[in-house]
Amino acid sequence: MIARGLAVVVALLFALASPLAPALPAQAPVAQGAAHQQELARTKFRELTDRMQKLMVVLQKSEPEDSRLIAAGLTFVQEKKLHQRLEHAGSLMQQDRWDDALAVMTELRQDLGRLYELLQNRNVDLRKLMEEIARLQAFRDRVDKLAKEQGEEKAESARLEDLQRHLAEIEAQKQRTEALLAQQQGLRAATNQLGTGSAADATRPLAEKEGQLQQDTQKLAQDLAKLEQDAAALQPGAKPDAKPAPGSGKSSKSAGQAAQAMGNAQQQLGDNRAEPSLKDQDQAIEELRRTVEELDAMAEQARRELLKLPFEQLAKKQEATQQSTDGLSRDMEQSEQSDSPDDPAEKPTPGRQRVQQAVPKQRAAAGQLKEYKPAKQKQQDAKDDLDAAKQELDEALAQLRQQLQDEVLRALEERFTAMLHAQRELSLQTKTLDGTRQNVLTASGALPAALAEKVQAVAAGETDLQLEAADALKLLEEDGTTALFPSMVEQLRDELREVAQRLGEQQTDLPVQERQRAVEDLLELLIDSLRRTIERKEAGQGGNCNGGQPPLVPVSAELKMLRFLQERVNKATKEFDGVPAEQKAGDAGRSRSDDLSAKQARVRDLTRKLAVKLGKENDAEEGR
């Protein structure tokens, strides 16, 4: 975890990097105030570097990476001679050389900003964490893709095996049907030889044989109905429980009609009516022949489906999947080796062993397919390994994302704290400049160049804060557990952009100052939410979950944010209501009205967003 002392150092540096306003030569009290601020900045920077020096020593053992960053920062201070230049700027101000002082301070501010950026890179833990998440996520996606491919190949191999078995069953049933047909043909010939005046004892044995044949054929019809169900399930795109409509199977229907004709023939023979039974026997023979034809047609259809799944093609696909899996295994192993001399430790890759175990099974499956043997079981075993690897990666990613969330919380809290400190400085400068400008206007009513430059310097500071807010949004990209927090940071960014724009237009009046106070209020709200969440986590208290991951900030904090936004809209609406009607009707009034409407719509949309999120969580909870 990043040292808290370093966080304080960065916050102080951020404040120092904000622009200081050189005084105007025409205003001695203001000049004295500016000189005092400059001297205060020099003293603070001296204290800051002393603190950095001590902190570097303390962190050498516990946080070596942070210690090295502070050492780099101190080297930067020496190379850029920041202490001397701060003292020089103060000396120029004491000599009333305001333009020269402003030039020196502008360069100083740029270098202080670079020092701030250098120390901002201290969060190696966060960067490494995000890199590790990206590394494992990439492997997880590849494993998932291979598992799906392996599943499809296993399904094709299983279908091929099922078609082969189905074709063999068709052939067995055809032979069975042909045997029954031959028996029926023989029984018909024996019946034909009896003639019309045969004795009862002559027809009785034939009736018994016909009865047995009828039972065997009825059983055949039942088995053929099952065979037809298998054929329907093996059709491309068929559902697992696909069945033909009752009575729609041709082979089972003809076999059933043959059995019915045999039953009629048995009854005729039992009544000693040999000659009338011949007609029923002929019908049974015809139906059994039809059954054989239907089985031939069913076999031909199965062969056509088999041709769509040649062993050679399946073997090539399996080999390609095996090679991809082997490549993934090597990449996972190679990624464990660190290229950084500062971090020689290996990074074990979850799931790598299971991926490695899948490779020989895939190779064996391809070999079996080349030998025209089904490989369903080997393919299933390989898929099981890949699924297990994906599960290990998912579990590791869940832990890393939880850790990332903790790091993001602290990084955001540090960033917003530094921004608040800087915004308060900028707000104070804006108020001071606004109080000064009324007494220093030129004859034409324009601002003096020096004062205009100071206002632009404050505008630049607000722009820097806007960029800081945009960077904070990047930290939230990995987190999808909160409905409002990213939107609140977007609101902060937009507010800062508006403040910077107005200052860029030389506005320093009360509306600008009110917007600056609104920025401060919003930063305080964000910081308070983050700190409360950090405290809850440190106390071991959980929060509402989204897919098993606690939210970045609790719902109670998001509700407080909504209330804050609504209260701001209410306050602005009340103030606008007190504006005279003629001002409301003007362009400025309409613009302000549109702005209020847009803000109210934003609150409405955020409220709906939070309601949808809570509704989904409630549905998920009820589902569990």
- Of residues 273 and 477, more confidently modeled: 273
Return the closest-CA partner of residue 406 out of 620, 549, 521, 524.
549
Rounded to whole angstroms, the Cα distance separating 418 from 53 reads 21
pLDDT top residue among 101 and 175: 175
Task: Indicate the residue type of 89.
Answer: A
Mean pLDDT of 566-584: 85
Q: For residues 162 and 168, what is the distance between their CA atoms, to the nearest angstrom?
A: 10
How far, in Å, CA of 389 to CA of 328, rounded?
A: 12
pLDDT higher for 360 or 29? 360
What is the model's pLDDT at position 87?
Answer: 84
Distance CA 535, CA 607 (A): 26
| Percent of the residues in the chain that have a pLDDT greater than 70, as a whole number | 83
State pLDDT tens for residues 325-337.
999 999 999 988 7
User: 459 with 451: CB under 8 angstroms?
Assistant: no
pLDDT given at position 576: 84
pLDDT at 358: 95
pLDDT attached to residue 612: 81
Ranges 2-6, 208-212, 213-217: which has the least confidence? 2-6
What does the pLDDT read at residue 294?
Answer: 94
Token pair 């809290």 in the structure block, residue? 413
If you write DSSP's letter for every residue of 464-476 in order, what string do you get? HHHHHHHHHHHHT
Residue 131's contacts (CB-CB under 8 Å, 6 or more residues apart) are: none
Q: Which residue has the higher pLDDT, 392 or 248?
A: 392
> How much is the pLDDT for 512?
92
Lowest mean pLDDT among 198-212, 316-330, 456-470, 534-548: 534-548
pLDDT greater than 70 at residue 8: no
The position carrying tokens 């003629």 is 582
CA angle (614, 622, 563) in 5-degree steps: 15
Pick from 439-443, 444-448, 591-595 the range whose average pLDDT is largest.
Answer: 591-595
Task: Assess contact for 234 and 159: CB atoms under 8 A.
Answer: yes
pLDDT digits (tens, 9 = 90+) for 77-101: 877 788 888 888 888 888 888 888 7
What is the rounded average pLDDT for all residues in the chain? 82
Cα gap 553→569, rounded to integer Å: 23
pLDDT at position 436: 85
When mean pLDDT is compared across 4-18, 175-189, 356-370, the lowest value belongs to: 4-18
Provide the pLDDT for residue 3: 45
Residues 586-602 have a mean pLDDT of 84
pLDDT tens digits along 606-622: 888 888 877 766 655 55
DSSP-derived 3-state class of residue 225: helix
First to last CA, the chain: 35
Buried b (16+ CB within 10 A) or exposed e, 80-118: bebeebbebbbebbeeebbebbbebbeebbebbbebbeb
- The three-class DSSP label of residue 73 is helix
Nearest to 233 by CA among 179, 174, 169: 169
In percent, the amount of the chain with pLDDT more than 90 equals 33
Average pLDDT rounded to a whole number, residues 392-397: 94
User: Is the Cβ–Cβ distance between 119 and 135 less than 8 Å?
Assistant: no
Instruction: Write down the pLDDT at residue 544.
Output: 46
Asked whether residue 117 carries a pLDDT value surpassing 90, the answer given is no
Of 158-162, 200-204, 343-347, 550-554, where does mean pLDDT reach its minimum?
Answer: 343-347
Task: Give the lowest-confidence range in 8-12, 25-29, 298-302, 328-332.
Answer: 25-29
Is residue 265 pLDDT above 50, yes or no? yes
Sorting pLDDT into bands at 50, 70 and 90, what band is 266? very high
Closest CA to 351 of 377, 376, 325: 325
pLDDT at 2: 41
**Integer Cα distance of 532 and 476 in angstroms:** 18
Are the C-beta atoms of 228 and 244 separated by less than 8 Å?
Answer: yes
Mean pLDDT for 545-574 is 76
pLDDT, average across residues 346-367: 92
More confident position, 306 or 211: 211
Please give the radius of gyration of the chain, using alpha carbons only, rounded to the nearest integer. 43
Max Cα distance, the chain (Å): 149
Q: Is the pLDDT of residue 460 over 50?
A: yes
Other C-beta atoms closer than 10 Å to the C-beta of 525 total 19
pLDDT band at 545 (very low <50, low <70, confident <90, very high): very low
Q: Nearest-CA neighbor of 416 among 481, 471, 494, 495?
A: 471
Q: Which two tokens stand for residue 513?
A: 């100052």
Report whether pLDDT(254) > 90: yes
Q: Compute the distance between CA of residue 225 and CA of residue 232 in angstroms, rounded to an integer.
A: 11
The reported pLDDT for the residue numbered 97 is 82
**Token match 């120029």: residue?**
92
470: Cβ–Cβ under 8 A, 6 or more apart, which residues? 493
Task: Provide the pLDDT for residue 262.
Answer: 95
Mean pLDDT of 543-571: 73
